[in-house]
Structure 1
Amino acid sequence: MTEQASNGAAQDGQNAQFSLQRIYVRDLSFEAPKAPEIFRQDWKPSVQLDLNTKQKPLSGGDFYEVVLTLSVTVKTGEEVAFIAEVQQAGIFLIKGLDAEAMAHTLGAFCPSLLFPYAREALDNLVVRGSFPALMLAPVNFDVLYAQELARMQAEGQASGTVQ
């Protein structure tokens, strides 16, 4: 019986399918509220990067939209030099995965595929605003996913002890 169960799991893994269908920019914005005065100041930037991911199933079966949002606020001194945001999205065909593998794929693997596109779109936007390129470092989405999972489990245990 154990052999049959493991063979079934192996067959499910063999039937797993992953395909990137489309990558697109969902939203893009840029503000330079202190331009042109900001260009005359000494450039000593402080960068704040906020990163967020969302995913949702699409109609038509095994298709999912994953949206990676990068929001950057750059200040020089107390002045906001610019605010830039990109929502980079992708449509993925994913089937044959168990719930845990599906959650990891949507929460870590898909965003890691979208990140280079989002970084490039954000960098181009900043340069077109006449600011130096951002050159954002790579992000380890596996680590971020694991941290979020641990946080959710800790909250679940904490709320479980309260009840």
Structure 2
Amino acid sequence: MADQKQNSQGNQGSQEDSQDPSFSLQRTYIKDLSLEMPNAPQIFLEQEGPTVEVSINVGGQRLADTVYEATVTATVTTRIGDKVLYLVEATQAGIFEAANIPAEQLDPLIGIVCPTMLYPYLRANVADAITRTSLPPLHLAEVNFQGLYEQRIAQLSQEQQGGQEDSGLILPPGMTRQ
């Protein structure tokens, strides 16, 4: 009888363990990487210093019940005057397992934690790609993914509030209601 009680407790313990939240990074990979130098080699003769524009985007999708893909994309455009020195676009992706995570915590997990984990890989891959052009590497600055996430949520909230106040018609840019 004691054995039966212990077995039932052992089974109950493993059932409780399977309900515990778990999160892990399964794999990272470069999903997309492109490098363009449309004005080479003439651009190398320019004496002016380059200007740099960087754009960062985050994405995510469910692959299976507890498996998610998160992505961080960086687009780096470097110009000398009005000519492009180089354009690098890189998407670093990762596969994450997130089990028994409450629904309200899942979006911040995919939108903040996952990109934070992937970003160092992205930075290294962008620097490596640029180094292969024979130009000095560009090291991307640190990014506050929580701040980006909060901005996105605020923007979505404003768009939803704006949609509730008017007739629901979406006007093209530059158009006004009369």
* 1:143 maps to 2:147: yes
The percent of aligned pairs where both chains have the same amino acid is 38
Q: TM-score, normalised by structure 2?
A: 0.81
Q: Paired residue for 1:114?
A: 118
Instruction: Please tell me whether Structure 1 or Structure 2 has the larger radius of gyration of its CA atoms.
Output: 2
Counterparts of residues 27-46 of structure 1 (less than 5 Å): 27-46=32-51
Match status 1:77 vs 2:62: no
Aligned to 1:131, the other structure's residue is in SS state: coil
CA shift digits 1:52-94 (9 cap, x unpaired): 11111113x2000111111111001111000001110000001
User: What's the secondary structure of 2:44's corresponding residue?
Assistant: helix
Deviations, residues 92-145 of structure 1 (Å, cap 9, x unaligned): 001222222100010111011111101110110011011221111100000000
In 1, the alpha carbon distance for the partners of 2:108 and 2:73 equals: 18
Runs of 4+ in 1 over 4 A off after TM superposition: none
Matches within 5 A, 1:1-163: 15-59=20-64, 61-163=65-167
Structure 1: tracts of 5 or more residues without a match: 1-10
* 3-state SS, counterpart of residue 23 of structure 1: strand
Residue 161 of structure 1 deviates from its aligned partner by 1.1
Query: Structure 2 CA distance, aligned partners of 1:43 and 1:54?
Result: 36
RMSD (CA atoms): 1.6
What SS class does the counterpart of residue 38 from structure 2 fall into?
A: coil
Counterpart of 1:130 in 2: which secondary structure?
coil
SS in structure 2 of the partner of residue 137 of structure 1: coil
**What amino acid is aligned across from residue 56 of structure 2 in structure 1?**
L
State the TM-score, normalizing by the size of structure 1. Answer: 0.88
- Paired letter, 2:152: E
| AA in 2 matched with 1:21 | Q
Whole-angstrom CA distance in 2 between matches of 1:43 and 1:16? 54
Cα distance in 2 for residues equivalent to 1:157 and 1:147: 15
